[in-house]
A = this chain, B = another copy of it.
Amino acid sequence: MASDGLKPAGPFSDAEREAIYRAIHERRDVRGQFLPDTIDEDVLQRLLQAAHAAPSVGLSQPWNFILVRSPGLRQDIRAAFEVANDEARAMFSGEKRELYSQLKLAGITEAPVNLCVTCDRTRGGRVVLGRTHNRDTDLYSTVCAVQNLWLAARAEGIGVGWVSIFRDADLRRILGIPDHVVPVAYLCLGHVRELYDIPELEARGWGDRNELANLIFEERWGVR
C-alpha cells in the first residue's frame, strides 16, 4: 500500500472537514478592518509555506514573495494605487461612480505587511511539463499559491486584501520587478478583529452573488 511513496488517504474527520469549509466560506477580501498589530514571524512563515505548498505546473514553483513592510515603500505603493484608482473611477458613470467613490478599496498603509506574489515566466526552463499547450498555466499556479495563503490566513486570524488597481509599470518600478516576472497579486496582510459576514461588495450593494445552480452545465456548455 505504501509502495512508491504512496500513503493511505481518505476523507478527513467531520471536524476537520468543517474547518476547511469554515475557512473557505468565512474568508473575506479585507479593505478596512486591519489592525496595526505586527504579524508574528512564525505566522508569516506558515502562511508563506502554505503558499509554497500550492500545485505548480511541472513542479515549476514559479512564485516569489516580496515582503513590503517599510512605511515609505507602502506610501509609494499607495500613491501608485491612488493614481490608478482615479483612472478606474472615471471609467464608471452615474450612480456607480458615486458608489465607487465611497468604497475603500485598499488597506496598503494600514496593513502592517504587504506581499507581492510574482510569477517568473522563465522558471523551469524553455519547456515545462504541462505548460506546453497553455503558456498561462504558470500564472495559474501562482494564483493557487495566493489562495492557499489566503485560506491559511483566515485560520490564523490574519486578513488579506488583494489590490489589483495599479498601473503595471508603477508596481514594477517601485519594487524593482524585472521584465520576465509578472506581479500577479499585491496583497495587504494584517490582524483583523471583525470581518464582513458576506462579501463587502454585496453588503454595500455593488453586486449580488449568482445562484450556483445557474453556473453548472452538464456534459457541454449551456446544457442543464
A interface with B by C-beta (< 8 Å): 1-2, 4-12, 15-17, 19-27, 29, 33, 45-46, 48-50, 52-55, 57-61, 63-70, 73, 84, 87-88, 91-92, 100, 103, 105, 118, 124, 127, 129-134, 136-137, 139-140, 143-144, 146-148, 150-152, 154-157, 159, 162, 164-168, 175-178, 181, 184-185, 192-203, 206-210, 212, 215-223
Contact = CB atoms under 8 A, between A and B. Distances in A.
B67 A217 contact: yes
A176 B130 CA distance: 23
User: Which 4 interchain pairs have the tightest Cβ spacing?
Assistant: A11-B157, A16-B19, A19-B19, A143-B143
A181 B201 CA distance: 24
B221 A176 contact: yes
B65 A53 contact: no
B168 A133 contact: yes
A90 to B, nearest CB: 9
Number of copies: 2
Nearest to A161: B55
Contact of A55 (B4, B27, B194): B27
A222 B55 CA distance: 24
Contacts of A167: 133
A144 B67 CA distance: 21
A164 B215 contact: no
B193 A10 contact: yes
20 contacts: A5-B196, A5-B197, A9-B33, A15-B15, A16-B155, A24-B148, A27-B53, A57-B164, A59-B201, A61-B209, A69-B219, A91-B127, A100-B129, A130-B164, A130-B165, A131-B164, A133-B165, A139-B140, A176-B222, A176-B223
